[in-house]
Structure 1
Amino acid sequence: MLHVVHSDTQVENPVISEYNKRQIRSIEKYSFDSGLSIRVWVASPGLSGDYLVSMLGGRTVASVGNNTKCQQGLKAVPLDKIKKEVRKFIAEQKGIKPKETEIVSLIGTRFDESASRNRMMKERGESATDAVEVMADTGDLVLSPIADWEAFDVFGYIGMVRSKKIECYDDFEELVQVYRDAGGGTCMVNSYLANKEADKAPCSARTGCWTCTRVSRDKSAENMIDSEDGKFEWMRPLNDFRNYLAARHFDPSARCWLGRTVNAETGNLSIMPNSYSPTFTKELLGILLTMQVEEEIAASRLGIAPRFTVLTLRQVIAIELLWARYSYQKPFTAVRMYRAVYERGARYRVPDLAAIPKFTEKDIAFRAEVPFCDEDYDNPFNGLRNIEWAAADCEETTLTRSGKLVTRVNTGSEFDIDEEGAELFYEFDLEHALNRITLNDSPASVAHYLIGLGTVQLYKGTESEWDRMLKVSNQVHRLQLQSILHDPHAIIAKLATVREGSFETGQAVLDLV
């Protein structure tokens, strides 16, 4: 059996995403008609690796320049997970152990693609004729059939398929059109129909994630949007969002400056540019929800399915939970915004980019250290303990690996939000939740509420980390830091009283702020 593995980052250019889905259907049909035995596997990041959830939830920032962290979370990790599933499937079919299963992966990398790709392929020893072991710990073998091809070889092959000189699962007509659209209306494949070589590079447009900020401009998306027939104008909001994100990336006011790892000896935290700030992440969520609902309205008027979906309710609730974990917003801000946009007509727009100053990495170079902990910081109910359940004598507890007592929670192989549970919460439980937990309550109370519903599944073994982060979250709330997390100097001024009060006089910090 041939196993076809496809990577879906969930933030692909939506035109390419739909094209890929049609390609998978073509592969399945061709294999069926030809009597080939295949199975298609799609690798996508879970919620813990979801790019938008992580970025808007305050866990990470966009990847820029040479930073490839996004590639790890969106492609490498999901693909590794899928490969393990494929290995397990094959082992079960053959009645052997997974580690005894030999898999040869065929990939389309080429030495000619770029200098960096050439270097990495040579380091791995990739070959067009010999399968090489690229991961010593897994024993995975990789064969690169077109490693020695140049761009003209690739498009020459496409031309041969289009002229029906080579049989293939697809005629590649749509592929050529995609290249034309992404390249601004030009594609040199036709040159090969007459066996002519063109003087210019063929169809060199590259597509990728619509969120990508590793490049200064998304030229392929811009070419599509600016096409004369206007058929891709609906993609403009996505590109506007991407450009706004890039413009604010090094903006000091768009960053959260409070570190999240407490020095166990001093009780201090670092002041440094962390993830995006509460204000900025809230703004980004509003913009994304607005572009999504307006696309749904536009698609409905055209009698077609929405051409993109950026955030599901499940993802919004995941963002809600992360905001509670980091004390980013008042309780249930994310679902309040979702309801405001979808049910009450609220709209959030991308600001005028021309009015935004140019920021560089130097603008976020500031570093400091501040006192953070007080005598109440390590109160057992400041972390992953539900004080209401404990007071009612209905709290189930468990011990973490480090011996700490925490509330027993649902755990599994990854962080997850039950999709059906998310829908039921929004439809039937939201009003009760908003009445039970007020805007003045600690953001961490949202985490306890959602975890208590059973809607949330934490990654097995991370209870200690959640306990630690909820303590930081509650401390941020008690010290009233939420509104100034974007301002390092305001944080320093505010937390100077912690040392004066808590460490020297023993007074509670809450009495000083």
Structure 2
Amino acid sequence: MGKAVLDDGVARLKRIHDDVREIYLSDNRPWVVGYSGGKDSTTALQLIWAAISALPEEQRTKKIYVISSDTLVETPVVSHYIDVSLERIAKAAVEQGMPIETHKVVPEVDKSFWVNLIGRGYPAPSRRFRWCTERLKIEPANDFIRSRVAEFGEVVMVLGVRRQESATRAQVMSLHKIEGSRLSRHSSLLNAFVYAPIAEFSTDDVWTYLLQNQSPWGNDNRDLVAMYRNAASGECPLVVDTSTPSCGNSRFGCWVCTVVERDKAMEAMIDSGEEWLTPLLDYRDKLAATQDPAKKLKYRDYRRRTGKVSFIGETDRVMPGPYTMDFRRELLRGLLETQRQVADEAPAGEAPILIHEAELHEIRRLWRTENGDWPDSVPRIVRDTLGKDNGFVEPDWVSEDAVAFTADDGELLNAICEENDVPTELVMRLLDIERASHGLKRRHAVHTRIEDVFKQEWRDLDVLVSERRVSLDMPEAANLNELDEELEQPFDGEEDSQ
């Protein structure tokens, strides 16, 4: 019985290898292999490698791009594993004459997690407002694929997706299947086709294959088994469309993920001996706490990023806007303190960079231009938090022009505005508009920008709520700021304008 099962397995692998080679040689379309470092994508890449390496070298002419998506907030243990794996894949490809190139795709700096959350004040992602997936995963991967389509006309994507992952995955795979072909159409990218060599594999099939077949680029697949065991986890796949399962529940994914109630994978890693990850989990839990409906307006502005105020349905409850500036400063300080702590406790060579210098510069720019951050908080927070560390090299901050306002200016202006019962932020915005147009010969847009500022809401929250209650003919309420989670809406679809 055991021999029959083994023979069936060998025959099955031979069929898959033959299938891979036939599709590879059938046209000139390059392949893009999605590699996330997890069990499924590793199995798919190993199968491709084994099949193509059996071809004569003169037939291995079609390029195979191996891409891995780095959100810049990946779980550090997984991120380190992927980085090492990509280096080994690139080296082994050269040594073995394989037509493989590795690429790590990352989000553009203005779309990174920290620039959106700390810079623009986007709230921590939730089930109703999962703004992160599109910006951090789908767009970077799709941009790479589009660039290959522009270069070659069409591409074939090789994905480690399986029908047994979920009923939804099986339905999507069947929906886009091309009649009479082993390829499927991509759900959203034109001229991109999908090949899923392990579509019919079960989870047991995947682990059996990995433990019975050595990695051609020199990884030890038992390390992958150990990583899954330590995290009690599943794989976070390369996400190229909205139908791909998200990295919720106990999957490997972003260490900041607040879409799930608890990060079971991170907790399991810590319990398995990776105690240095504890500060990351604490910071993540701090972000998750801001989703408590009763506390949202403690952390978030009652105005939207447009300066307008929105109410929930026919109620007097305010739709929360972005995080307040004070809380964003607190988040940045906490993140840098977490980075310093992790750097002290992480194993040698594994200390992650939690926020990159380019992100700090972009956050500073947004705070200065959009939020009137006259104290220029970012350099000060960075200096206060990291400046005492030996070896710390402070970023080269771009100096502001001579007419920039300072923290002292802000204090003086605040005192004057309080005396005259005028919103300080309103006057700051008006002065910033004048400063930005200083020295320009043509100032025709200044009046429009000034008008836009005056159209924003500058009255206090209690005044707005009282006015709302009068308009709705409602009695006084005990808790005007109470917010039901199920009623919250995601920034009214205003995207980056929010």
Provide TM-score, normalisation by structure 1.
0.60
Q: Deviations for 1:202-252, whole angstroms, at most 9, x for unmatched residues?
A: xx962110011111111111011122xx3x111111111111111112322
Alpha carbons of 1:136 and 1:60: their partners in 2 closer, same or farther (altered >3 Å)?
closer
Q: How does 1:52-201 map to 2 (within 5 A)?
A: 52-65=114-127, 67-88=129-150, 90-91=151-152, 101-125=153-177, 130-135=182-187, 138-161=190-213, 164=214, 170-183=219-232
Q: Deviations for 1:379-400, whole angstroms, at most 9, x for unmatched residues?
A: xxxxxxxxxxxxxxxxxxxxxx
Q: Structure 2 CA distance, aligned partners of 1:423 and 1:45?
A: 21
Q: Residue 288 of structure 1 aligns to a residue in which SS?
A: helix
Shift of 1:448: 9.3
2:412 is the counterpart of 1:339? no
Give the gaps of 5 or more residues in structure 2: 1-62, 235-248, 312-317, 414-427, 439-444, 470-498
**Count of matched residue positions in the alignment of Structure 1 and Structure 2:** 360
Alpha carbons of 1:135 and 1:111: their partners in 2 closer, same or farther (altered >3 Å)?
closer
Mean Cα deviation higher: 138-147 or 313-322: 313-322
Give the gaps of 5 or more residues in structure 1: 92-100, 187-203, 346-419, 453-463, 497-513
Mean Cα deviation higher: 24-33 or 429-438: 429-438
Q: Structure 2 CA distance, aligned partners of 1:21 and 1:9?
A: 13
Letter matched to residue 153 of structure 1? D
Alpha carbons of 1:449 and 1:117: their partners in 2 closer, same or farther (altered >3 Å)?
farther
2:395 is the counterpart of 1:423? yes
2:269 is the counterpart of 1:224? yes
Q: Structure 2 CA distance, aligned partners of 1:159 and 1:444?
A: 65
Q: Structure 1 CA distance, aligned partners of 2:110 and 2:206?
A: 36
Q: Which residue of 2 aligns with 1:307?
A: 351
Alpha carbons of 1:273 and 1:67: their partners in 2 closer, same or farther (altered >3 Å)?
closer
Q: Deviations for 1:303-348, whole angstroms, at most 9, x for unmatched residues?
A: x346111112321221222223442754312222111112268xxx
Shift of 1:269: 7.1
Q: Which residue of 1 aligns with 2:362?
A: 318
Letter matched to residue 138 of structure 1? L
Alpha carbons of 1:66 and 1:269: their partners in 2 closer, same or farther (altered >3 Å)?
closer
Q: Is the 8 A contact 2:75 2:253 kept in 1?
A: yes
Q: Structure 1 CA distance, aligned partners of 2:437 and 2:267?
A: 42
2:67 is the counterpart of 1:5? yes
Q: Residue 351 of structure 2 aligns to a residue in which SS?
A: coil
Q: Deviations for 1:116-142, whole angstroms, at most 9, x for unmatched residues?
A: 333433343389971122246622111
Q: Residue 164 of structure 2 aligns to a residue in which SS?
A: coil
Q: How does 1:412-451 map to 2 (within 5 A)?
A: 423-425=395-397, 438-440=409-411, 442=428
Q: Select the residue among 468, 489, 503 that pairs with 2:462.
A: 489
2:284 is the counterpart of 1:242? yes
Q: Structure 1 CA distance, aligned partners of 2:168 and 2:400?
A: 52
Q: Residue 314 of structure 1 aligns to a residue in which SS?
A: helix
Q: Is the 8 A contact 1:259 1:269 kept in 2?
A: yes
Q: Structure 1 CA distance, aligned partners of 2:450 and 2:368?
A: 8
Q: Structure 2 CA distance, aligned partners of 1:331 and 1:29?
A: 48
Q: Select the residue among 225, 229, 252 that pairs with 1:207.
A: 252
Q: Residue 207 of structure 1 aligns to a residue in which SS?
A: coil
Q: Select the residue among 5, 15, 19 that pairs with 2:81.
A: 19
Shift of 1:38: 1.8
Q: Is the 8 A contact 2:67 2:105 kept in 1?
A: yes
Q: Is the 8 A contact 1:260 1:469 kept in 2?
A: no
Alpha carbons of 1:436 and 1:58: their partners in 2 closer, same or farther (altered >3 Å)?
closer
Alpha carbons of 1:262 and 1:183: their partners in 2 closer, same or farther (altered >3 Å)?
closer
Alpha carbons of 1:33 and 1:61: their partners in 2 closer, same or farther (altered >3 Å)?
same
Q: How does 1:332-411 map to 2 (within 5 A)?
A: 332-343=376-387
Q: Structure 1 CA distance, aligned partners of 2:402 and 2:342?
A: 27
Q: Structure 2 CA distance, aligned partners of 1:307 and 1:128?
A: 50
Shift of 1:68: 3.9
Alpha carbons of 1:119 and 1:30: their partners in 2 closer, same or farther (altered >3 Å)?
same
Q: Which residue of 2 aligns with 1:198?
A: none
Alpha carbons of 1:168 and 1:337: their partners in 2 closer, same or farther (altered >3 Å)?
closer
Percent identity, aligned pairs only? 25
Alpha carbons of 1:210 and 1:470: their partners in 2 closer, same or farther (altered >3 Å)?
farther
Letter matched to residue 232 of structure 2? G
